[in-house]
């Protein structure tokens, strides 16, 4: 038999293009269109309904960047479409067809719209590839709707990473971006549409089957015969005949060993990215309207959505949509998942903030829907902290889902279903969908890839298929659910079934009882620049986290000690705003300029409110008088004040530098630092031991400027090739004394760097205060601290502990980890000597080992201070910045923890106090046990909540003593629900004995 496959495939393609697709609508009827352009930001439906509209014609340009145009659309179904009884012909449906001028770019990255009825209820979202909507026809066959069209510019959906002026409202311009192409009623022929879905699926399946397979040959011949059965002059009248030819092939069952895909409708909606936060709320409304409309059409369709923040927006701004949504949630078809306020970053979010992501997210879903979400849903965050398994378990989660690790540039995680073990030993059942995307379009290619790619075949056969247009929203389409209906059992394809995340995880756990274990962080070998980009946003987050900690502590102390009111609602509002801005395209610094300028304004407002709460709380505690006191919110003693307490002020003060040669010396009897005439630290000695930190021939405090031109994803990526192009800033414009600090002024290009070097009495920490006025582009600024220790590992602080990473490059995994994230400190050490480097602003580090001149190796710690990518914000990080860095000599881990807090949470001095001492609410007798939060209980009971953790990575016995009357102590989860005691060995009144495993996180409720 001659092989005609190639010719038949060409015939199929042309048949679909020229016959089937154009015949989906039997007829089209133009509608009357009027338009009103909202003058500024988006408006309410009521305002738009009452606006003055003007006639608008198809083919007319519309829509300035980030604008909103409302279209009033009206008309009626033509009498010629109706049968004698007035109904539409059997097998047809009338619907709105809208083309706003969609471009070749992706769905969710350009213009889109929401169709409203005249009563103010959303009907459906409209976007590229999903541009039909129910027509909302009244009893007389009339259509009368409003279309809220958003002219969002396509900032970069084709990802050529070119700088754009469109990401900032101030520079975006007023020129119309789109041209209206269509607003009509179409009479959709259901048989033609169904045949089109048959052809698209089967043609895709042919491409995936082996060329020698009998099934493939049968499909080719049958599709050829189906084309013969359809009359090109009467596609509508003969489409069913074509379907009849294909019916036996569609009925052929899947193999008994076929992979099973649990299809979960999804629409990953970035809470901000290449659009501002305000637009995200509208994207959610459009997507959820689309989803609810599809549920009306398809009773099998199930949709899962994360991010409590996005649900909260619907409740606040779209009450009619909210009511429909709640009804579908009650049915179990619209499924809240994830249990977090947003899909946050996990590398840079602080420990308590990470906990609050779950507290606020899960609490919202419990209160609004009565649902305790047990799966953590983070498909797109840029790597996953080793602290997460414990935090997730402490929030009551059982399962974790992500996809992003499939983006690794170098290495492949060897599992798709496994148990992930965190730094404390907690494990959680984890799944990576082998389809390798969180926005599948349910093509035959996607289904085949998932089956072939699944790494755990032989022991398991189930995976999750998240499908629907995502990132910019949109969600599933009827074409996608049509494919699922056809592949519930189809020869040559995996089995696909509608499912929920819970059903998937329960099935996967049952079939795979003993999966492999992956221990430690899930490091993404990609997007390493996110630890550094948009420094102001990162500083705002870091400062907000510590201010919230401090404000809650002093407010709780004031309530317990004086009866002052506790501002619980204010705290929740501010926490939720901070949590929103921890979204994985805001905190990482990868959004348009508009997003980051909004974030900076929000952080300033947050700081102002929290500073006022702190001031009011301290005033309530110390009164007004003539005494100076220090308020120490840190978990360790400092400046004469116990941890978490207020005591008489006794500032340490800085030592005065002395001249030496062409430089200066700082010496406080604990540490001796020599700064030469170039402003570089040539010697840094621990006085008691005589141990020198700086290796021979090296200098500490050296800035280096690197070329920073990643291959792709500018604000996201630092490529390893940056190391090939370096300029050391080893000369200074000036080195001088200013009081008790050595001031060094440097210049690079159009930028200046001023460093103040100081050392406090009795301290092990040399402080570097940096003022950087940055005007470079595509450059990376790093600050280096070489440390004369021989080690192959470095410790880096993460949430509720630290992680140890290799500094060698023995394996491809080690080599790929060339830029890493740390919170307040990193430390390199030999068994009896170490040095920590602290910071108050940045997260990016590279820590390497190098050969010493006299033999052996030394470690080089470098902080990534600032970078200046041009996409998506061409003005990224331009201007003035202030940072604090500390070099802690002779630092044990406990010293690193203590100094990390000191750098980020300075004590406060009140100079006009009446009371000189306020005892802490709780005291811990072990410095290695860190009190992370002291607050009042969420339930308004007045109970005191204490969150603490073991910070050194050791087993530890500790005692907590409450400084107020306590009638009972219980362990709780993060949501403050009582759990079986895992750390409390005994409790008598306010005295609590704790037995902690390494890095164990504990939440205690102290009942008043």
Q: Which residues contact 796 (CB under 8 A, 6 or more apart)?
A: 802, 803, 804, 805, 820, 821, 822, 823, 825, 826, 827, 845, 847
Which residue shows structure tokens 């805001």? 586
Q: Answer for the pair 533, 867: CB distance below 8 angstroms, yes or no.
A: yes
Report the half-sphere exposure of 8 (CA within 13 A, side-chain side): 22
Pairwise CA distance, residues 221 & 393, whole Å: 54
Which residue shows structure tokens 């700082």? 666
Q: Which residues contact 22 (CB under 8 A, 6 or more apart)?
A: none
Phi and psi at residue 277, to the nearest 5°: -55, -40
Phi-psi region of 28 (alpha: psi -120 to 50; beta: other; left: phi over 0): beta
Pairwise CA distance, residues 339 & 357, whole Å: 8
Q: What is the DSSP letter of 80?
A: G
Pairwise CA distance, residues 271 & 586, whole Å: 8
Q: Is the previous residue joined to 380 through a cis bond, with omega within 30 degrees of 0? A: no
Q: Answer for the pair 838, 900: CB distance below 8 angstroms, yes or no.
A: yes
Pairwise CA distance, residues 15 & 788, whole Å: 72
Query: Strand, coil or helix: what is 843?
Result: coil
Q: Answer for the pair 929, 644: CB distance below 8 angstroms, yes or no.
A: no
Name the token pair of 840. 């108050």
Name the token pair of 806. 């290799």
Reported in sequence order, the residue ranges of 333-384 that DSSP labels E, i.e. its strands, are 334-336, 375-377
Burial of 418 (0-12, 13-18, 19+ CB in 10 A): buried
Q: Answer for the pair 558, 873: CB distance below 8 angstroms, yes or no.
A: no
* Helix ranges restricted to H, 370-477: 388-394, 444-453
Q: Is 708 a catalytic residue?
A: no
- Residue 291: which of 261, 340, 327 has the closest Cα? 327
Phi and psi at residue 920, to the nearest 5°: -70, 155
Catalytic residue among 198, 224, 270, 380: 380
Give the CA dihedral 101, 102, 103, 105, nearest 10 degrees: 160
| Number of CB atoms found within 10 A of residue 550's CB | 23
Q: Answer for the pair 824, 811: CB distance below 8 angstroms, yes or no.
A: no
Query: Strand, coil or helix: what is 918?
Result: strand
Q: Answer for the pair 365, 308: CB distance below 8 angstroms, yes or no.
A: yes
Name the token pair of 215. 């099934």
The maximal CA–CA distance of the chain, rounded, in angstroms, is: 106
Q: Which helix (H) or strand (E) holds 117?
A: strand 112-117
Pairwise CA distance, residues 39 & 504, whole Å: 47
Burial of 46 (0-12, 13-18, 19+ CB in 10 A): exposed
- Residue 26: which of 199, 195, 234 has the closest Cα? 234
Query: Strand, coil or helix: what is 163?
Result: coil
Q: What is the DSSP letter of 431?
A: E
Name the token pair of 194. 């169904």
- The catalytic site residues sit at 380
């Amino acid at each position: 038999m001659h092989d005609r496959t190639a010719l038949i495939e060409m015939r199929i393609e042309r048949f679909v293009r020229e016959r089937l697709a154009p015949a989906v609508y039997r007829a089209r009827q133009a509608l009357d269109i009027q338009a009103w352009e909202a003058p500024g930001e988006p408006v309410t439906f009521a305002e738009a309904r009452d606006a003055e509209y003007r006639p608008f014609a198809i083919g007319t340009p519309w829509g300035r960047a980030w604008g909103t145009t409302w279209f009033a659309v009206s008309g009626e179904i033509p009498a010629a479409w109706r049968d004698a009884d007035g109904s539409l012909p059997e097998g047809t449906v009338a619907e709105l067809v809208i083309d706003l001028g969609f471009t070749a770019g992706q769905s969710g990255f350009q213009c889109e719209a929401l169709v409203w009825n005249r009563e103010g209820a959303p009907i459906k979202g409209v976007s590229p590839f999903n541009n039909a909507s129910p027509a909302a026809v009244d009893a007389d066959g009339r259509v009368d709707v409003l279309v809220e069209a958003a002219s969002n510019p396509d900032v970069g959906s084709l990802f050529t990473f070119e700088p754009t002026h469109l990401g900032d409202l101030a520079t975006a311009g007023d020129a119309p971006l789109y041209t209206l192409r269509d607003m009509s009623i179409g009479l959709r022929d259901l048989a033609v549409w169904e045949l089109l879905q048959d052809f698209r699926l089967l043609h895709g399946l042919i491409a995936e089957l082996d060329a020698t397979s009998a099934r493939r040959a049968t499909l080719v011949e049958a599709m050829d015969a189906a084309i013969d059965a359809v009359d090109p002059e009467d596609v509508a009248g003969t489409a069913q005949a074509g379907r009849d030819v294909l019916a036996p092939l569609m009925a052929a069952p899947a193999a008994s060993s076929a992979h099973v895909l649990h299809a979960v409708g999804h629409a990953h909606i970035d809470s901000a990215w290449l659009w501002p936060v305000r637009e995200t709320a509208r994207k959610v409304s459009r997507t959820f309207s689309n989803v609810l409309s599809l549920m009306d059409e398809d009773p099998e369709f199930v949709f899962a959505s994360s991010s409590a923040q996005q649900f909260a927006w619907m409740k606040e701004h779209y009450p009619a949509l909210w009511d429909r949504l709640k009804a579908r949630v009650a049915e179990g078809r619209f499924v809240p998942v994830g249990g977090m306020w947003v899909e946050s970053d996990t590398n840079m979010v602080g420990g308590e903030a990470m906990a609050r992501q779950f507290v606020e997210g899960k609490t919202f879903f419990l209160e609004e829907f009565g649902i305790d979400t047990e799966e953590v849903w983070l498909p797109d965050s840029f790597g996953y902290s080793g602290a997460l398994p414990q935090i997730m378990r402490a929030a009551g989660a059982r399962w974790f889902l992500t996809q992003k690790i499939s983006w690794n540039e170098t290495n492949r995680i060897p599992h798709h279903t496994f148990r992930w073990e965190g730094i404390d030993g907690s494990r959680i059942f984890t799944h990576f969908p082998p389809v390798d995307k969180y926005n599948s379009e349910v093509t035959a290619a996607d289904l085949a890839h998932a089956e072939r790619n699944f790494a755990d075949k032989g022991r398991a056969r189930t995976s999750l298929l998240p499908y629907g247009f995502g990132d910019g929203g949109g969600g599933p389409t009827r074409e996608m659910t049509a494919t699922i209906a056809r592949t519930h059992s189809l020869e040559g394809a995996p089995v696909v079934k509608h499912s929920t995340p819970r059903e998937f995880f329960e099935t996967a756990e049952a079939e795979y009882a003993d999966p492999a274990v992956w221990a430690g962080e899930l490091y993404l070998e990609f997007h390493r620049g996110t630890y550094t980009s948009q420094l102001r946003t990162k500083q705002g987050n870091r400062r907000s986290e510590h201010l919230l900690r401090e404000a809650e502590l002093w407010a709780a102390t004031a309530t317990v000690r004086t009866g002052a009111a506790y501002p619980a609602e204010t705290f929740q509002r501010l926490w939720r705003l901070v949590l929103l801005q921890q979204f994985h395209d805001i905190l990482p610094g990868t959004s348009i300029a508009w997003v980051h300028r909004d974030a900076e304004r929000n952080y300033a407002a947050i700081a102002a409110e929290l500073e006022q709460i702190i001031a009011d709380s301290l005033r309530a505690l110390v009164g007004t008088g003539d005494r100076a006191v220090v308020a120490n919110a840190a978990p360790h003693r400092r400046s004469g004040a116990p941890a978490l307490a207020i005591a008489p002020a006794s500032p340490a003060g800085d030592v005065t530098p002395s001249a030496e040669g062409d430089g200066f010396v700082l010496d406080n009897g604990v540490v001796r630092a020599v700064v030469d005439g170039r402003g570089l630290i040539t010697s840094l000695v621990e006085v008691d031991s005589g141990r020198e930190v700086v290796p021979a021939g090296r200098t500490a405090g050296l800035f280096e400027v690197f070329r920073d031109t990643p291959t792709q994803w500018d604000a996201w990526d630092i490529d390893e090739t940056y190391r090939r192009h370096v300029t050391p800033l080893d000369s200074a414009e000036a080195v001088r004394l200013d009081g008790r600090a050595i001031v060094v002024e440097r210049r690079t290009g159009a930028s200046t760097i001023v460093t103040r070097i100081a050392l406090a009495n009795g301290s092990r920490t040399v402080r570097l205060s940096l003022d950087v006025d940055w005007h470079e582009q595509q450059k990376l600024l790093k600050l280096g601290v070489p440390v004369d220790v021989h080690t192959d590992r470095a410790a880096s602080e993460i949430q509720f502990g630290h992680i140890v990473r290799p500094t060698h490059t023995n394996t491809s995994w080690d080599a790929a980890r060339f830029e890493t994230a740390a919170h307040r400190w990193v430390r390199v050490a030999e068994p009896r000597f170490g040095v920590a480097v602290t910071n108050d602003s940045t997260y990016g580090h590279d820590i390497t080992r190098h050969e010493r001149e006299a033999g052996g190796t030394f470690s080089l710690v470098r902080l990534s201070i600032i970078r200046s990518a041009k996409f998506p914000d061409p003005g990224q990080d331009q201007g003035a910045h202030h940072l604090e860095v500390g070099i802690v000599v002779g630092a044990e881990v406990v010293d690193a923890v203590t100094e990390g807090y000191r750098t980020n949470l300075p004590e406060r001095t009140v100079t006009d106090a009446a009371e000189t001492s306020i005892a802490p609410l709780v005291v811990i007798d072990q410095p290695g046990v860190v009190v992370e939060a002291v607050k009042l209980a969420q339930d308004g009971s007045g109970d005191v909540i204490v969150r603490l953790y073991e910070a050194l990575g050791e087993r530890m016995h500790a005692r907590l003593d409450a400084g107020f009357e306590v009638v009972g102590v219980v362990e709780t989860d993060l949501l403050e629900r009582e759990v079986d005691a895992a750390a409390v060995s005994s409790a008598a009144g306010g005295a609590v004995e704790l037995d902690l495993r390494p890095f164990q996180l504990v939440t205690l409720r102290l009942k008043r």
